[in-house]
Structures are given as structure tokens and as C-alpha cells.
């Protein structure tokens, strides 16, 4: 495959429509794809409800095939329109896109419908394509930036939470024992996480006075330290209010690299021009 030769006209256009969102056609493609993905997700959900699956089996079956056909066409177009198909095929999205279509074909060939249901649930991963659209709302970049900046602090915080949960879980296992449901240490740590995060299912709960005292302590700690991640993110968001936000949705036609600067003319990854048509 010759590397430097410019793409043929229709391939370049197809690439722009499928991989980018700067043109009206590109935006339309993205939105249409999202609608199909959303429908396919709702279908997987409804199919899992036994009463519905029994009643509308054939409706699901036909809808299944229509969606698989659309995804298959899209998959082939994506491979055709890109210069280095390997970059796409072995990328995260490439594998997810393939896994979105394969199960239906395999179920048809080998008949193992029930087993493949789980695999088809992988189709849910296509939901991440939706996130590409959130780039239109420039705010999401700001949010992600604030979250990325506060990552080291948040890791330290989660680490501290984990240590508290391990110690408290072990303590509760020793104090409550098997009568209160604290059968073993991993289960007690699970309970400590349920309690510290203020979820509180209530399937396991202390019954001895000392256990309840320790539980009160964990709850108050959990109630108090939620302030820490909040404080971290808030101060980052306040700071990020002033920065610029990149809005470029171009993807390099050569290496498929994204996240170019707004005024970028060449790909920062492979040096090829971003617009050749």
C-alpha cells in the first residue's frame, strides 16, 4: 500500500464523512449512527426481559438482522475509506465494531443463540462512540481536563478509602463474626465499602453494640471524607474556567490520530497533511 500517494477523491470524502464531524454530511452520519446504536442497545435490553422475548420473538429476530446489516455495511465502509485499515481494525473501536456484528452471524451458522446473547451485549460498548458527539458540547472537554488534572489526588484518595475499608472490614469480621453476616474478610470489606460510600443496602448489618459503634464511625468518616474528592474537583473546575478548549474533530486520514489543534494543517503524529482533497 503506497504511503505518500494522496487518497482518491471519493475515499477522502468518505473518510471525512465517517471519521470526522466538521462537515454537515459528517455530522449527519454521526447522528444517524448514534440513533442506530441507541436502537440496538434498547433492543438488547428489551430482549433480556423474558416476558417480552417470548411474546415478540420474531420482531426481535428481524430487528436484530436489520441492525446487524447496517453495522456490517458501516464496518466495511470504515475499512475501505481509511488508508491504513490495520490501524482501524486492531484499534479499540475496530474490535468493538466487529464484535457488534459477528454474534448474529455466528448464531445463524452454529445456532447457539443463548450463549451469544452475552457476546452481543458487547454491542453496548459501541455506546462509547456517542462520547465523540459530546465533543460538540465544548464543556465536556473542560470537565475531562479538570478530572485528568485531579487524577493523582483522586488516586491517593481512593487508595486511602481502600485502606480504611480493608482495616474496618477486618475489624468488623473479628467483632461481629459469622452471626451478623460478616462471614469472612472479603465480605466484610464489601460491607465496609457499601457503608463508607453511604450506599447501605442493608443485606448485611451489624447487630452487636460494639459492631454498631464501629459502623457509626465508618459512616461518619464516609460522610465526612466525601468532601475530599469534591474539594479536589471543585478547585480544578474553578481553575479550568479560564483555559481554552480544543474543538477540532478532525482525524488524520493516514494514521487516524485525533485531538489535533484547532489550526492544525498537518498531523502531529505522522506529519501528513490533514486536508488533501
What's the min distance (Å) between Cβ of 223 and a copy of itself? Answer: 4
How far from chain centre, in Å, is Cα 170? Answer: 33
What's the min distance (Å) between Cβ of 119 and a copy of itself? Answer: 10
Phi, psi angles (nearest 5°) of residue 266? -120, 155
What's the min distance (Å) between Cβ of 137 and a copy of itself? Answer: 5
- Give whichever of 12 and 219 is closer to a copy of itself, judged by the CB atom: 219
What's the min distance (Å) between Cβ of 237 and a copy of itself? Answer: 4
Each as own residue / partner, the long-range contacts of residues 173-180 (CB below 8 Å, 24 or more positions apart, any chain) are 175/206, 175/208, 175/210, 175/211, 175/214, 176/206, 176/207, 176/208, 176/211, 179/207, 180/204, 180/205, 180/206, 180/207, 180/208, 180/211
* Contact status, residue 218 vs residue 168, Cβ threshold 8 Å: yes
- Give whichever of 222 and 253 is closer to a copy of itself, judged by the CB atom: 222
What's the min distance (Å) between Cβ of 238 and a copy of itself? Answer: 4
- Exposure pattern of 1-23 as b/e (b: 16+ CB <10 Å)? eeeeeebeeebbbbbbbbbbbee
- Give whichever of 41 and 79 is closer to a copy of itself, judged by the CB atom: 41
3-class secondary structure, 197: coil
- Give whichever of 232 and 252 is closer to a copy of itself, judged by the CB atom: 232
- Give whichever of 120 and 254 is closer to a copy of itself, judged by the CB atom: 120
- Give whichever of 105 and 201 is closer to a copy of itself, judged by the CB atom: 201
Upper half-sphere CA count for residue 76 (Cβ side, 13 Å): 6
- Give whichever of 8 and 198 is closer to a copy of itself, judged by the CB atom: 198
Cα–Cα distance measured from residue 192 to residue 172, given in angstroms and rounded to the nearest whole number: 8
**Which residue, chain included where needed, has cell 442506530?**
36
What's the min distance (Å) between Cβ of 106 and a copy of itself? Answer: 17
- Give whichever of 2 and 209 is closer to a copy of itself, judged by the CB atom: 209
What's the min distance (Å) between Cβ of 100 and a copy of itself? Answer: 14
Cα angle for residues 180, 182, 183 (degrees, 5° grid): 115
Distances (CA, A) of 8 to 13, 19, 232, 249: 9, 16, 50, 22
- Per DSSP (E only), the strands in 113-254 are none
What's the min distance (Å) between Cβ of 20 and a copy of itself? Answer: 21
Amino acid at each position: 500500500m503506497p504511503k505518500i500517494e494522496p487518497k482518491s477523491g471519493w475515499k477522502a470524502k468518505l473518510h471525512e464523512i465517517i471519521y470526522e464531524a466538521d462537515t454537515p454530511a459528517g455530522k449527519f452520519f454521526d447522528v444517524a449512527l448514534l440513533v442506530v446504536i441507541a436502537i440496538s442497545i434498547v433492543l438488547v435490553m428489551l430482549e433480556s426481559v423474558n416476558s417480552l422475548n417470548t411474546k415478540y420473538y420474531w420482531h426481535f429476530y428481524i430487528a436484530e438482522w436489520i441492525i446487524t446489516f447496517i453495522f456490517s455495511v458501516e464496518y466495511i465502509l470504515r475499512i475501505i475509506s481509511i488508508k491504513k485499515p490495520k490501524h482501524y481494525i486492531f484499534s479499540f473501536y475496530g474490535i468493538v465494531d466487529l464484535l457488534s456484528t459477528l454474534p448474529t452471524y455466528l448464531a445463524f451458522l452454529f445456532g447457539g443463540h443463548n450463549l451469544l446473547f452475552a457476546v452481543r451485549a458487547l454491542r453496548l460498548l459501541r455506546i462509547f462512540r456517542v462520547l465523540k458527539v459530546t465533543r460538540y458540547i465544548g464543556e465536556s472537554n473542560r470537565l475531562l481536563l479538570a478530572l485528568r488534572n485531579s487524577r493523582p489526588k483522586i488516586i491517593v484518595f481512593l487508595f486511602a478509602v481502600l485502606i480504611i475499608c480493608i482495616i474496618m472490614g477486618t475489624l468488623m469480621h473479628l467483632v461481629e463474626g459469622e452471626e451478623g453476616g460478616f462471614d469472612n474478610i472479603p465480605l466484610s470489606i464489601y460491607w465496609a465499602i457499601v457503608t463508607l460510600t453511604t450506599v447501605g443496602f442493608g443485606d448485611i448489618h451489624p447487630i452487636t453494640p460494639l459492631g454498631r459503634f464501629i459502623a457509626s464511625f465508618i459512616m461518619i468518616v464516609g460522610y465526612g471524607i466525601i468532601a475530599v474528592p469534591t474539594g479536589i474537583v471543585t478547585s480544578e473546575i474553578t481553575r479550568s474556567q479560564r483555559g481554552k478548549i480544543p474543538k477540532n474533530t478532525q482525524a488524520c486520514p493516514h494514521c487516524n490520530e485525533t485531538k489535533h489543534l484547532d489550526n492544525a494543517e498537518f498531523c502531529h503524529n505522522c506529519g501528513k497533511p490533514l486536508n488533501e482533497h
